[in-house]
Amino acid sequence: MKIIAFYSLKGGVGKTAAAVNIAYLASQAGIPTLLWDLDPQGAASWYLSGTDEIKGRKLAALMDGKTPIGKFIRASAYPDLDFIPAHNSFRNLDVRLDKDDSANTLKNWLAPLSEETSLVVLDCPPSMSRLSEQVLKTADGVFVPVVPTWLALNSWQQLQAFARDKKLKPGRLHPFFSIVDRRKNLHREMVIHRKQRLESGLNALIPNASVVEKMGESGQPVELMDRSSAAADAYRRLWKEIRKLI
């Protein structure tokens, strides 16, 4: 079982859209996939539940060993794609991780799923926290959307420094440009010089596109809304790169 995460210190960078679209593409490739919505805002859960409101469960029962992780999983509308919905209590997850013993880790929680799940996709909240450490320790690859601006690049550098400080193998971090608007001079300049601006970055460029924004309205991945769109092509390219890395 492989575990990947979509993570950023900043919100509003296309993290959840990427997580959902990559999870969908993986499932369509015949890979049994689980998306865990760790962000209390629950955007990934919203995308995958469509018009049906699916409420998550408190993690306390999982952390106390009273309820197996399988009880938290819900089926999506797509074959080979399940998800664990977010819950408001997830905002207290860092507090619990600080207090509880080492048995309470993402790796230990996910271990029982290895026989039926081939890929776990973690959609992480935008924070630098104990949960962040867990993600960086557990994931085989952490994929970091970066908007082509100086502030976003600074956040990416902060994340790299955080990983080095915690001895969490920064090499697992894989940035990619997201919400790219080629009408903006700065975006164009950074994309042209992306090998210098975003060293070790992936080649896929996720555009600033209305079809991505409409995911919340339709409750569908971009591939289903408009397969011929530039955004759908970009997510396919991103998935191709991710698959090679893991």
CATH number at residue 48: 3.40.50.300
Between the CA of residue 243 and those of 26, 64, 228, what are the distances in Å?
A: 9, 34, 21
The confidence score (pLDDT) of residue 7 equals: 95
Q: Length of the chain in residues, anyone?
A: 246
Q: In what order do the strands lie in the sheet with 141-146?
A: 74-75, 81-84, 33-37, 119-123, 2-6, 141-146, 173-180, 205-207
Q: What is the pTM of this model?
A: 0.92
The confidence score (pLDDT) of residue 244 equals: 95
What is the tally of structural domains in the chain?
A: 1
The confidence score (pLDDT) of residue 88 equals: 65
What's 16-82 look like in SS3?
Answer: HHHHHHHHHHHHHCCCCEEEEECCCCCHHHHHHHCCCCCCCCCCHHHHCCCCCHHHHCEECCCCCEE
Could you give the CA distance from residue 170 to residue 132 in angstroms, rounded to a whole number?
13
| pLDDT averaged per 10 residues in sequence order, the chain, 246 residues | 94 94 97 93 81 62 76 91 80 60 74 92 88 87 96 93 85 95 95 90 96 88 95 98 94
Could you give the CA distance from residue 161 to residue 48 in angstroms, rounded to a whole number?
33
The confidence score (pLDDT) of residue 95 equals: 58
Which residues, 6 or more positions from 234, have their beta carbon under 8 angstroms from its beta carbon? 204, 205, 206, 207
Where in 91-220 does DSSP place strands (E)?
A: 119-123, 141-146, 173-180, 205-207
Q: Give the domain range for residue 154.
A: 2-245
